[in-house]
Amino acid sequence: MNKLTVALLFGGKSGEHEVSLRSAASILKALNREKYDVIPIGITKEGQWRSDPKFLEAAFPDILSDGRVVLLPPDPLDNSLMQVLSDTKAIGNRVRIDVVFPALHGTYGEDGTIQGLLDMANLPYVGAGVLGSSVGMDKDVMKRLLQHAGLPIVDFLMVLDQHWQDRKPAVRTAIEKQLGYPCFVKPANLGSSVGISKVKTAAALESAMDLAAQYDRKIVVEKGLDVREIECSVLGNDDPVASLPGEIVPSHEFYDYESKYLDESSRLLIPAPLDASQTKAIQELAIKTFLVTECSGMARVDFFIEKKTNLVFVNEINTLPGFTSISMYPKLWQATGLGYAELIDQLIQLAIERHRRRQAKKTTY
């Protein structure tokens, strides 16, 4: 069997740049070199694409500033990457790509922008397409779609940053009247708990809103509940399947950035201590969420179980979840019987299958 050439994208213009580096290093290590030739492509925080054979050593944070600039031409008949010769600024060799694995999180990677570029270049890629990616990234739009489909979500409000600046008393009153304290304040378009605050009092609301506004024009404010945090991985295209659920016991008051990536005292319970009916309900809701949001390939769906009532709420869907060997998405599949390397194989095949089916559709009339 001929080897596939996989372009692994990492880094990016995002507040989750460093998380992406960790995911990409794990994927790179697990890609079977007997099946795949790998081209690691680092995207700097300024958005410049770079590639270098040294990237195969996976020391991404130290060498992302090195390497030659590369371009992905929007040529649907070429399917290649072009290298810019840095000394002459001329276009150098072209390398054919069979499939792209975006190990990108957050803006310009998980929000549909890179997916649109790859569609224009006619390249198969792992994960959701433009629509599913953008819906999954925008917590406001995502929650409205889930609500419209009748799926249970926590009460929330969306506030534009300009409205917050211009109408603070009115916005504050609306939040206090409709949601109360505690509440969670977060940027609508970001992940990894960047910019999120738990607000317990009116005095803390302004700084939390200002923090979220630094990252996005839309701010999502959610009612605070006393909950268990459950996550479930989904895999597939039109007929997805769900993994066993897992539970997060955060080291902090909620599962913030530090709990996820810096403080190792948070605990992951895999599988989650749920009875059979709860497990089935979570899995069914995960698949429904995946389909309602037009997702494909993979996603991790996050849930809340209110401790007082045992009610289940869909929190959000992550279309490019963390992918280190200790991240929840692959660990849940491992517990379900699918190993890390085999999971990568399946994701690549799903990407190629989705691309092949899309290519079969007419684009002329």
Q: Does domain 156-223 have CATH number 3.30.1490.20?
A: yes
Calpha distance 227→250 (Å, rounded) = 12
| Coil, helix or strand at residue 4 | strand
The token pair at 194 is 């960047």
Query: Per-residue confidence of the chain (365 residues) as pLDDT tens digits?
Result: 689 999 999 988 887 888 888 899 899 999 999 999 998 888 888 888 888 766 666 555 555 566 667 777 767 777 777 665 554 444 556 788 899 999 999 889 999 999 999 998 899 999 999 999 999 999 999 999 999 999 999 999 999 999 999 999 999 999 999 999 999 999 998 765 678 999 999 999 999 999 999 988 999 999 999 999 999 999 999 999 999 999 999 765 654 445 444 445 668 999 999 999 999 999 999 999 999 999 999 999 999 999 999 999 999 999 999 998 889 999 999 999 999 999 999 999 999 999 999 999 888 88
Q: Provide CATH code, domain 4-125.
A: 3.40.50.20
Could you state, in order of their start, the residue ranges of all structural domains in the chain? Answer: 4-125, 136-152+226-358, 156-223
Kindly report whether the peptide bond that precedes residue 250 is cis, defined as omega within 30 degrees of 0.
no
Which helix (H) or strand (E) segment holds residue 86: the answer is: none
Q: Does domain 136-152+226-358 have CATH number 2.60.40.350?
A: no
What angle is formed at CA 291 by the lines to CA 135 and CA 229, rounded to 5 degrees? Answer: 75
- Whole-model pTM: value is 0.89
Q: At what angle do helices 340-359 and 17-30 cross, to 10 degrees?
A: 100
10 neighbors 103 (Cβ within 8 angstroms): yes
